[in-house]
Structure 1
């Protein structure tokens, strides 16, 4: 750490020997995202810790893109006003944990807070990712719910935590599963393996009903690749020949006509 006078700092900035990262924080070279985050934390009260989407990314389950930095402060601490900063006052006591040297809300607290405050279609993918990352377990999430009783959104969190499943591998798979559950259909099995007659694993489906031999797939941009298309056609033909009825959906179905998804799978199950 170096102590410089204001005059010296201005001189070195003018010579491009120093770079202004944040007000009162300078570096001797251009900074990446990590250095900018650490510079921001230096500008905040000592009680500040990362929370919500910012903490989720650091814990390994940040499935939603968020350019702003979310921090939590005790209710009695004034709210700083800095560019790119979102401040959340919390009434729940919490002991921060250091993740890469930056104080964060613990993973289980972060996950339940997001389950309360995100829209429903984004909350389940986040919970699935939290379990898949190993940052939390479902039992830990259930135990954490009791601390949030009477807080806004806790009813949604109580509904979604029991549905969370770490086998889901992407946000759209989790959302597709939720659409079916909210449509009052049986919960499909995520990442369902299909075996051949010798019991050898052949193909893995995004979702499915094993006993009914119904498979459900989300087709994203990766399926537009020519080599992937050839593989998909071989896979589709093999599944059909082995008694599987496949149903495929895209982003248009998921985000614009979820009722069509429910009706299609309900008809297949019937």
Structure 2
């Protein structure tokens, strides 16, 4: 059950200051934030609701915070991001990042809290985070079902003259909801930036009877080249056994697999491009 929250001005409509203090002494009321009280200990969601009660009525969750609620929060962020019109003074509260916006937006209520529209959220992130993180946001936004490619294109067009909009406009046409994790999107972007052909995502390999046998993260079907990212999920013993069986079957059936790790993605992307270019040659 969620915590019932009240601003102090709401409590004072029915209670005197003395009665409010008495309820606090008896733990019938608990202070959640300055000026906001609840009827029981708060969880993370209740604390977010309490923070929103401290903000102007025009406040909407945006960027990382809205993306998390929409289901495409692939970038970790502990701070709460809200958007306010440029004419509204900027509140200064711990854990809060305020973004003034010159573009109007109608709030969308997502799990009880107002958010900027999903397309606005995705494009704002895509134009302000680093390029390697921007495409994963756009891919995840489409995969979540919160927004479609046409909506992203229209939103990117509306952001003209804003900081970073060129990056967002360049990446929106590349967005593909078939990517299943941030690293898959980053790997694809590295290949595209290296002027290599776009690999097919979530590529199924069939056996001699035409039955799907294994699915590859990415690959080039005609050249029988598979590309995969190896993360921590591949370190378990059972997963290792499965991977070896799968690797041997693919090798016997003429597939050349290329595997990459976080070191390749974040420290030596040129190695990825050179490896795949050599395989394609």
Query: Which interval holds the TM-score relative to the shorter structure?
Result: over 0.9
Equivalent of 1:81 in 92, 105, 108: 92
Shift of 1:216: 0.6
Q: Does 1:40 align with 2:51?
A: yes
Q: Does 1:198 align with 2:209?
A: yes
Q: Does 1:209 align with 2:235?
A: no
Q: Deviations over 1:161-213 (max 9, x none)?
A: 11110000001111111111111111111111111111111001111111111
Report what 1:142 is aligned to. 153
| RMSD across aligned positions (CA) | 1.2
Equivalent of 1:186 in 181, 189, 197: 197
Task: Give structure 1 regions of 4+ aligned residues with deviation exceeding 6 angstroms.
Answer: none
Report what 2:239 is aligned to. 228
Q: Deviations over 1:127-185 (max 9, x none)?
A: 00000001111111111122111111111011111111000000111111111111111
Q: Does 1:61 align with 2:72?
A: yes
For 1:11-26, list aligned pairs within 5 A: 11-26=22-37
Report what 1:268 is aligned to. 279
Shift of 1:87: 0.2
Report what 2:41 is aligned to. 30
Q: TM (normalized to structure 1)?
A: 0.97
SS in 2 for 1:66: coil
Unmatched 5+ residue regions in structure 2? 1-5
Shift of 1:10: 3.1
Report what 1:109 is aligned to. 120
Distance (Å, rounded) in 2 between the aligned partners of 1:8 and 1:119: 52
Unmatched 5+ residue regions in structure 1? none
Q: TM (normalized to structure 2)?
A: 0.93
Report what 1:121 is aligned to. 132
Report what 1:94 is aligned to. 105
Report what 2:3 is aligned to. none
Distance (Å, rounded) in 1 between the aligned partners of 2:144 and 2:274: 33
Distance (Å, rounded) in 2 between the aligned partners of 1:76 and 1:206: 47
Shift of 1:13: 2.9
